[in-house]
Chains A and B, each alone.
Chain A
């Protein structure tokens, strides 16, 4: 009895397997589930719902983990010879994965992704290409840098609060410092959220595309722009112009809504976050130009790991979700800045005004920043470790634990250690 039941089961399994293997009935193919693993949902919620009707045969299952844990875990998974069908990789971590192109499907060779290249922002596309030419990822979004500010608080402090006027009054880092000092003198409250964000933003303004790594030699270098950013951060810290609230902390989120600070650097992907935390004060925030000129900060790529179970289906989805039409929808829905410049000319894109940001034309503001960038920051294999060390140095100095000089000296020692790694 038992034996015959088992036999029947085995037969059934083979029958099903046979049905899957035989290519006779492609039209009625069983639905395939692909996994998309990422550090958040990339704001794709509504698009994923739409995808269910566009292509019911490819179901997308989203798996998320904490930012660092996602990227660290992905590398371990890939080394061990497994991986999701689609993995998102943030720009800051991309260099680490680009050092191992053999772990990814070469989207150029396998799926002729190079035909898409011309519809993407040139330098943004390159960020997904390894040094040996392997296309490992297609860019999802781009982080143009601007400065968000509380127009209501500036007005109360007797300072200019109109977009153009604020941009003009803070057009250089020296002017920004003076502006912040005026605000602090008038209100007794800090101007900026924290200096680590300020350091990160300003250190990215090097005209030659060098922050921590030199593209030509692929080596870690120290450039004047980064030191300049560090000194600016030190000025803000010693003059107490910043609230020193750690980014991504609960105090930071609350501060966006309760006036703990009047300004913060805002890469475009941060807009949705500010909007969420400032729900009770619609129109209080506004957007001005980044002091010292535009820069790029952040953005992600979608990759297909070498060990993906369903690479074809994964590519079908990527191709759809990153097409200009979908990117426009994503911008109108969540303010995610597209990587396909054709969208920037779309009337709907240009007309988009955000009530949360005092009706600022955020599409126009951020796309102007992005289009003004010629050379993106080049990032190398140990980018993450170098960045961690710099951030820690800024933090030690900002908390008053060390003098700016002592903290810098310790930093240089740590950088030397990272340089010694192969």
Chain B
């Protein structure tokens, strides 16, 4: 290495030293917390999954037994089916609705726009329990409002949480209620970063509202859309709160709304099979990885087009 290179490298690094240290210092709390609450539990869970792990007693190494048992457990596949079904029912309408609401909020002529933008986040910050109380009485079999309305149109009483598809529907509507506003705000932020000039020139060219949406708005928020789809996929695979509170810890008499996360919870914290629970956690992890990869492939394909 010659002198010139060395000095330039040095001056570069001394420049980085000043800014870099502060920057690293500023972001270090996140990484510290992530190490403690993110990386360590992940590694420890992978370790536990190879043991018959009594939380207070013996820990016996059993190799891959937990995994082979898990893959043969019919409950796992039922939980996976339920989770995916609830995820599809909850995510697709949710993101579509969020997009629609975001376009409304983005209109210049909208009155009290700040009020609506704040109001749309209220379902997300309301206590889950309070929402669940409202939802379970709305969906009540005998005195619920929804069955009452359906009854006017001649539909028989539906026992929502008892059926497979009906319980998924009920859970999905609660997920939609909670998360639509949140995603709408993210979309709104992305839409506002699209330069106004693009719309102006589009309308000068005689583009209709729909054409503007299709050719200006959608491409402009594409990256954010991929982000929200990925995040709601991860969230969807971990669905726990809504089915737990609406239907109970057992996931239904026929396990009709038993999700992967509920399966993990029951094995680890109600049957004390920590090792088996850890194996379920690893399974969920790989599901998330697979879906994230699918998302990434689609995203890069769209980006190329």
The answer to whether A and B come from one shared complex is yes
Residues of A within 8 A of B (CB): 68, 72, 75-76, 79, 100, 102-103, 243, 245, 249-251, 254-255, 260, 382, 384-385, 388, 391-393, 395-396, 399, 401-402, 418, 421-422
Partner of A255, one of B56, B142, B269, B272: B142
Q: Mark B248-270, 1 if CB is under 8 A from A, else 0.
A: 11101111000000000100011
Which residue of chain B has the shortest Cβ distance to A102 in the bound complex? B56
Partner of A249, one of B136, B269, B270, B273: B136
Which residue of chain B has the shortest Cβ distance to A397 in the bound complex? B253
Which residue of chain B has the shortest Cβ distance to A394 in the bound complex? B253
Q: Majority SS of interface residues in chain B?
A: loop
Question: What are the 9 A-B residue pairs with the smallest beta carbon separation, nearest first?
Answer: A395-B253, A392-B253, A396-B253, A251-B142, A250-B137, A79-B55, A68-B249, A388-B250, A399-B162
Which residue of chain A has the shortest Cβ distance to B247 in the bound complex? A246
Q: Mark B113-150, 1 if CB is under 8 A from A, else 0.
A: 00000000000000000000000110011111000000
Q: A250-B136, A255-B142 are in contact. Are A401 and B253 (CB under 8 A)?
A: yes
**Are the C-beta atoms of A249 and B140 separated by less than 8 Å?**
yes
| Cβ contacts under 8 Å, A385 to chain B | 270-271
Q: Tell me, yes or no, whether B14 is within 8 Å of chain A by CB.
A: no
**Are the C-beta atoms of B54 and A75 separated by less than 8 Å?**
no
Q: Mark B133-173, 1 if CB is under 8 A from A, else 0.
A: 00011001111100000000000000100100000000000
**Are the C-beta atoms of A392 and B56 separated by less than 8 Å?**
no
Partner of A421, one of B252, B254, B271: B271
Distance in angstroms between the alpha carbons of A401 and B162 in the assembled complex:
9
Residues of B within 8 A of A (CB): 52, 54-56, 136-137, 140-144, 159, 162, 248-250, 252-255, 265, 269-273
Distance in angstroms between the alpha carbons of A421 and B267 in the assembled complex:
11
| Cβ contacts under 8 Å, A75 to chain B | 269, 272
Distance in angstroms between the alpha carbons of A200 and B255 in the assembled complex:
20
| Cβ contacts under 8 Å, B270 to chain A | 72, 384-385
Interface pairs (21), CB distance under 8 Å: A72-B265, A75-B272, A76-B269, A102-B56, A243-B142, A249-B140, A250-B140, A251-B140, A251-B141, A251-B143, A254-B142, A254-B143, A260-B142, A392-B253, A395-B253, A396-B253, A399-B162, A401-B254, A418-B271, A421-B273, A422-B54
* B153 CB to nearest chain A CB (Å): 21
**Are the C-beta atoms of B141 and A72 separated by less than 8 Å?**
no
**Are the C-beta atoms of B269 and A72 separated by less than 8 Å?**
yes
| Cβ contacts under 8 Å, A254 to chain B | 142-143
| Cβ contacts under 8 Å, A102 to chain B | 56
* B291 CB to nearest chain A CB (Å): 29
**Are the C-beta atoms of A399 and B137 separated by less than 8 Å?**
no
* A82 CB to nearest chain B CB (Å): 14
Distance in angstroms between the alpha carbons of A79 and B159 in the assembled complex:
39
**Are the C-beta atoms of A100 and B56 separated by less than 8 Å?**
yes
| Cβ contacts under 8 Å, A402 to chain B | 254
* A92 CB to nearest chain B CB (Å): 12
| Cβ contacts under 8 Å, A391 to chain B | 250, 253
Which residue of chain B has the shortest Cβ distance to A71 in the bound complex? B270
**Are the C-beta atoms of A250 and B143 separated by less than 8 Å?**
yes
| Cβ contacts under 8 Å, B159 to chain A | 399
Which residue of chain A has the shortest Cβ distance to B256 in the bound complex? A401
* B174 CB to nearest chain A CB (Å): 15
**Are the C-beta atoms of B254 and A396 separated by less than 8 Å?**
yes
| Cβ contacts under 8 Å, A243 to chain B | 142
Distance in angstroms between the alpha carbons of A399 and B250 in the assembled complex:
16
| Cβ contacts under 8 Å, A401 to chain B | 162, 253-254
* A370 CB to nearest chain B CB (Å): 29
Distance in angstroms between the alpha carbons of A245 and B273 in the assembled complex:
33
Which residue of chain A has the shortest Cβ distance to B58 in the bound complex? A422
| Cβ contacts under 8 Å, A382 to chain B | 271
* B95 CB to nearest chain A CB (Å): 31
* B165 CB to nearest chain A CB (Å): 13
| Cβ contacts under 8 Å, B272 to chain A | 75
**Are the C-beta atoms of A399 and B56 separated by less than 8 Å?**
no
| Cβ contacts under 8 Å, B136 to chain A | 249-250
* A422 CB to nearest chain B CB (Å): 7
* A99 CB to nearest chain B CB (Å): 9
| Cβ contacts under 8 Å, B250 to chain A | 388, 391-392
| Cβ contacts under 8 Å, A399 to chain B | 159, 162, 253
| Cβ contacts under 8 Å, A395 to chain B | 162, 253
| Cβ contacts under 8 Å, A100 to chain B | 56
| Cβ contacts under 8 Å, A79 to chain B | 55-56
Which residue of chain A has the shortest Cβ distance to B248 in the bound complex? A68
Distance in angstroms between the alpha carbons of A251 and B139 in the assembled complex:
10
Which residue of chain A has the shortest Cβ distance to B139 in the bound complex? A250
* B118 CB to nearest chain A CB (Å): 30
Distance in angstroms between the alpha carbons of A388 and B254 in the assembled complex:
11
| Cβ contacts under 8 Å, A103 to chain B | 56
